[in-house]
Structure 1
Amino acid sequence: MSTITLLDGSLKLSIFYEVSDRDFDDDICLCFEEDCPEDEKLFKADEVSFYITPEQAALMVLELNRAIQNYRGDTKAAGD
């Protein structure tokens, strides 16, 4: 499982399929781990996990791809 590092390394995101939860629809885990001073934390706990369905994951991918396309369109327009 790979980890995505965000916010200059203070937030790490791991995304994985939770095999032990396959009896449930929401078996894709988004696990956030924070390593920063308390007053800079986004979450109350050092580690926060929540589970989403494959459909929700696909919608997130779709919206992220749209945002990337918009970004790329803006950077091309700025370079014209």
Structure 2
Amino acid sequence: MGLYLLDDTLSVEVFYEPSDGQFPDNVCLRLWESCPAEEKIFVADETNVYLTPDQARELAKLLLTAVAASEQNNLKSQSD
């Protein structure tokens, strides 16, 4: 799964890494940048953050909570 952010210069991928299946943190959050060096957020072109399934679930839950708050705020703004 991939998502492009920041004018398509930051790729975010999330996937199960089979070669790390023996480790508890085998869900990979990969961040990859394709922009000029002076615009980079990270030092490396590609950064991998390995999460346990519980950490990945918690991250997903936090994202969904933020989405719900954003949508609620948008609904409130539209009704004002």
Fold-level match, TM-score > 0.5?
A: yes
Tell me how many residue pairs correspond in the alignment.
79
Report the equivalent of 1:27.
Answer: 26
How far 1:37 moved relative to its partner? 0.8
Report the equivalent of 1:56.
Answer: 55
- The percent identity for this pair of structures is 37
Report the equivalent of 2:3.
Answer: 4
SS at match of 1:63: helix
Structure 2 gap segments, 5+ residues each: none
Q: Deviations over 1:21-49 (max 9, x none)?
A: 11110000011110111111011111111
- Return the TM-score normalized by structure 1: 0.94
How far 1:18 moved relative to its partner? 0.4
Which ranges of 4 or more aligned residues in structure 1 deviate by more than 4 Å? none
Report the equivalent of 1:13.
Answer: 12
What RMSD in Å do the two structures reach over aligned CA positions? 0.8
| Whole-angstrom distance in 1 between the partners of 2:65 and 2:46 | 29
- Is it true that 1:74 corresponds to 2:73 in the alignment? yes
| Whole-angstrom distance in 1 between the partners of 2:47 and 2:60 | 21
- Return the TM-score normalized by structure 2: 0.94
For 1:47, give the aligned amino acid: E
| Whole-angstrom distance in 2 between the partners of 1:24 and 1:74 | 40
Structure 1 gap segments, 5+ residues each: none
